Structure 1
Amino acid sequence: MTTTTSLTTLPAATTSVDEVVDVIRRDGGVILEGFLEPSVLAELRRQLEPILDETRYGEDAYFAGTKTRRAGGLFGRLDMMPEIALHPLYYGAAKKILQKPLWVWVGDDRIEMVPDIQVGVTQAIQIHPGQGDQRLHRDDTSFLWRHPDYGREGRVQIMVAVTDFTAENGGTLVIPGSHLWDDERGPRREEAVSTVMPAGSALIWIGSTYHGGGDNSSEASRTGLTMAFDLACLRQEENQYLSIPRDKLPGLSEEVQRLLGWGSGVNLMGYVERDGQMVDAHTLLEDGAVDLPTVR
């Protein structure tokens, strides 16, 4: 049952992580106005423009869009990505929603495990005039997630408005409350609302919320930047190991490197063998022992 028929907008400057999480848990998503400072937004636009200019339109009318440009591998292409990923409201909300502790037995010991999170996908998306609306979907379909069987979320995603988002230019469509639905109920276009927010704002939603790109009936393109934090025990939708250039990864902070997958959690996901021992994958970066890919 849908709990609301609109998206809630909160001021980023005065909103707490708990308030963000409360609205997301109730509605499935929230808009944060003023998510980026004007100077940060201006720099983001400067860095994104040449990337999107050289990106071809999609060829998939079914989902990706034939009048939409999508550019990925953004941690290897944009210096701004760590600032967006580690924004206290987004990063804080993702950790609070995804890092739900669970208790497990290991022999005679019952221990608490807190799952790690990682970057699952990054994309700059530019919807041009004449593009129709995208089919409504749940992003956790990538994990073949079931609802409500798992009792936890697998993804927390953000869409930063690089230009203004309106109902006319393709503002992201969201069905508020759809995160509460089971898998028997399908989405209908008339249930979706358009994300309306000025540039520099951000929409944060969870993997179980039905959404999609809107149709652009205006005369100008709309540009957004999206990324997702996922449970680290799930395969990354976008292969971050092969998306980051050789000379880029060492310059990122250890925290960001680990969020990109260069690390191992308490459940040993992603470990590597060194001298007969199972060790944290980050030691490969520390030792300079990994031959990083050369891309772009």
Structure 2
Amino acid sequence: MQNTLTRLNPDASVDTVCEVLERDGGVIIENLVDEETLKGLWEDLNPALENWDYGADDFSGHRTKRLSSLFARTEHVATVALKEQFLGAARRLIERPVPVWMGGRRVELAPNVQISATQVIQIWPGEGAQWLHRDDMSHLRVYPGPIGRVQLMLAMSDFTAENGGTLVIPGSHTLGDEEPPAKDRAVSTEMPAGSCLIWLGGTYHAGGPNQSDAPRTGLTISMIAGNMRQEENQYLAVPREKVLAYPEEVRRLLGYDTCPPFLGWYESADPHLVLQQDTEPAEGER
């Protein structure tokens, strides 16, 4: 296994991002999010974050704040979620066909992707290192196995080794379940605000210890296969009026979609039709 994370420019192709992710399990894309979006995220999220409580257990962090329901709190998060190097890579790596028999024929069906969890994670001075884990543990995935999750961490503030930059073990997505993660192989994610870490659900990682005198703030979004349950219940996290404010692509990513062949329907139809009905003009307004 290598002991560094590859860094790419913000114009890197999806092909290149996928190549690095499949090889290393993680990649840093520098300056992927523009300053205006970053400013908007801070303006929308910081008031709630300032009054948020620390975690209540070792995993969540006793000196770490975790703010969720981001699509209900700021529309700027959609700009991050739709970045081609993230969403495009997630689709390429997750939407891989599976052979099934239907109607006496052998056909191939592929899942779509959906947003699973969203959080702002703010690690404060004095916080220790989180224990290394795979995010795929939420779905009890077995390794080695196919890719079912791709995740992004946006640095809302600078990430350094001193202030709790995310720890990653490059190449650890290839480990079987019998082999525990080795702490001495973990490397710290160092990147300026606006840059992003993208990693696979099978890559071992953890929040780093903050030994600085200021908090470290990151925003994370995960994409999973549409045939898996969303880690964060987006139907409760994002009120319907907020969902309606987003374009169709985002609505479907939030879960108002069907996954081939049959998952997620409402009254045997595409659930997005329910949202479309809410946006159609009344008879007298046409």
Same fold flag (TM > 0.5): yes
Alignment match, 1:185: 179
SS at match of 1:247: helix
Alignment match, 2:271: 281
SS at match of 1:141: helix
Structure 2 residue 78 is the aligned partner of structure 1 residue 88: no
Counterpart AA for 1:223: T
Question: CA contact under 8 A between 2:30 and 2:194: conserved in structure 1?
Answer: yes
Work out the number of aligned pairs and report it.
279
Pick the aligned partner of 1:52 from 46, 49, 54. 49
Question: CA contact under 8 A between 2:41 and 2:77: conserved in structure 1?
Answer: no
Alignment match, 1:63: 59
Structure 2 residue 263 is the aligned partner of structure 1 residue 269: yes
Structure 1 residue 71 displacement after superposition = 0.3
Structure 1 residue 284 displacement after superposition = 1.4
Structure 2 residue 143 is the aligned partner of structure 1 residue 147: yes
Distance (Å, rounded) in 1 between the aligned partners of 2:40 and 2:254: 23
Deviating more after overlay: 40-49 vs 157-166: 40-49
Within a 5 Å distance, the mapping from 1:1-296 to structure 2 comes to: 2=1, 4-13=2-11, 15-60=12-57, 62-148=58-144, 150=145, 152-273=146-267, 278-288=268-278
Counterpart AA for 1:250: L
Runs of 4 or more, structure 1, over 4 Å off, are none
SS at match of 1:122: strand
Deviating more after overlay: 108-117 vs 219-228: 108-117
Structure 1 residue 247 displacement after superposition = 2.2
- Aligned-residue CA RMSD (Å): 1.1
Q: Deviation digits for residues 139-182 of structure 1, max 9, x if unmatched?
A: 0011100001x3x1110000000000000000000000000100
Structure 1 residue 246 displacement after superposition = 3.4
Deviating more after overlay: 17-26 vs 104-113: 104-113
Counterpart AA for 2:215: S
SS at match of 2:119: strand
Structure 1 residue 39 displacement after superposition = 2.0
Structure 1 residue 43 displacement after superposition = 1.9
Structure 1 residue 88 displacement after superposition = 1.1
Distance (Å, rounded) in 2 between the aligned partners of 1:213 and 1:84: 21
Distance (Å, rounded) in 2 between the aligned partners of 1:63 and 1:37: 31
Distance (Å, rounded) in 2 between the aligned partners of 1:174 and 1:37: 25
Counterpart AA for 1:52: L
Distance (Å, rounded) in 2 between the aligned partners of 1:255 and 1:155: 19
Counterpart AA for 1:6: T
Question: CA contact under 8 A between 2:31 and 2:195: conserved in structure 1?
Answer: yes
Counterpart AA for 1:279: A
Structure 1 residue 235 displacement after superposition = 0.6
Unpaired runs of at least 5, structure 2: 280-286
Alignment match, 1:293: none
Counterpart AA for 1:67: R
Distance (Å, rounded) in 1 between the aligned partners of 2:40 and 2:115: 22
Counterpart AA for 1:228: S
Distance (Å, rounded) in 1 between the aligned partners of 2:104 and 2:182: 50
Counterpart AA for 1:282: H
Q: Deviation digits for residues 9-68 of structure 1, max 9, x if unmatched?
A: 11113x1111111111110000000111122222222222112112111111x2000100
User: Percent identity at matched positions?
Assistant: 48
SS at match of 2:240: coil
Counterpart AA for 1:54: N
Unpaired runs of at least 5, structure 1: 290-296
Counterpart AA for 1:94: A
